[in-house]
Amino acid sequence: MSFRDLQSRLADTGYVASDGLAMALHLAISLGRPLLLEGEAGVGKTAVAQALAELQAARLIRLQCYEGLDAAASIYEWNYQRQLLAIRASDQAGAAVEEQIFSEKYLLKRPLLEAITQNEPPVLLIDEIDRADEAFEAFLLEILADFQVSIPELGTIAAIARPVVVLTSNGTRELSDALRRRCLFSYVEYPSLEQELTILRRRLPGIAEHLAGQVVGAVQLLRREDLEKKPGVAETLDWAAALMGLDVADLGDDPATVQATLVCVLKTQADQAAVPPEVAARLIGSAA
């Protein structure tokens, strides 16, 4: 399978990938290496993993990162309540109890361990890795390089089937070189006009061609404006859906309604103030 095949099969699931991204995904699958995706919020980094899981009919295992995420919440934890009960209920000697309570029966699998103990290769999505702290990256290294987890009481658990790993980052922090070197890399840009039109048509099949063109044109222009939060692809889809729901056929028809629906694309108070009706009218005028 070439990367073009992958690209068109992704498009069938509703995900329109650029050449660079399709190639990176293709290599990640064929070389068995993790893929690190960076880009602005809303360019569709998380959706890649979802589309890939759908395409491969694989399970999607997702680990959402946050500050303070540790091994207990991401890899594994012992089931302490059960362990305590087992110790109290047991009449055996210490060593035997120890053997018993540190067995797999008492192990709670968190996403990372879960991902390497599947029989069928799943898609593992490690979302917003830049939100976790540096220490957490170190936990990841063993898993990403060798696909194995070391548990002191149990030994090393190696992957049954290698998951396809996708990491995403919004770039709120520099990631360590060690992590970067284990991954393939792709920088995801906002889609071009044509790509975004294709996305809109795939996701909202009922949309009129004229409205789709206007919406995408206006959003593309908005991204060039000086905004705090630039609208992502999800915002475009929301806006188009809202306009369809309100039966707006042309953005020029009803300026008041269109202005009201801009809440779908402008997500901060400052941004809404920066696009008053006159500016919106100008954007829509030049987008058409």
Q: In the complex, which residues of this chain contact another protein (CB under 8 A)?
A: 2-3, 19-20, 23-24, 26-27, 30-31, 33, 35, 38, 68, 72, 77-78, 80, 83-84, 87-88, 90, 94, 97-98, 101, 133, 170-175, 177, 180-181, 183-187
In sequence order, the 6+-apart residues with CB closer than 8 A to the CB of 18 are: 188, 189, 191, 195
Shortest Å, Cβ 33 to another protein: 7
Residue 133 or 225: the one with the smaller Cβ distance to another protein is 133
Q: Which two tokens stand for residue 26?
A: 């293709």
- Paired with 60 in beta bridges are 123
Q: Which is closer to another protein, CB of 84 or CB of 288?
A: 84
The smaller minimum CB distance to another protein, of residues 96 and 160, is found at 96
Q: Please, which residue, 106 or 239, has the CB nearer to another protein? A: 106
Least distance to another protein, CB of residue 20, Å: 6
Compute the least distance from the CB of residue 170 to another protein, in Å: 8
DSSP letter string, 1-16: --HHHHHHHHHHHT--
Please report how close the Cβ of residue 133 comes to another protein at its closest, in angstroms: 8
- Residue 79 tokens read as 């089931």
Which of 92, 286 has the CB closer to another protein? 92
Asked whether 122 and 61 are in contact (CB, 8 A), the reply is: yes
Min dist. Cβ of residue 2 to another protein (A): 6
CA–CA separation, 205 vs 252, rounded Å?
22
Q: 182: which 2 tokens?
A: 């284990």
Tell me phi and psi for residue 148, to 5 degrees. -145, 160
CB of 160 to another protein, least distance (A): 23
* Between 94 and 205, CB nearer to another protein: 94
d(CA 130, CA 106): 31
- Which residues are bridge partners to 187 per DSSP? 38
CB of 245 vs another protein, minimal distance in Å: 34
In this structure, what DSSP letter does residue 168 have? Answer: E
Nearer to another protein, 66 or 185 (CB): 185
> 72: which 2 tokens?
């207990």
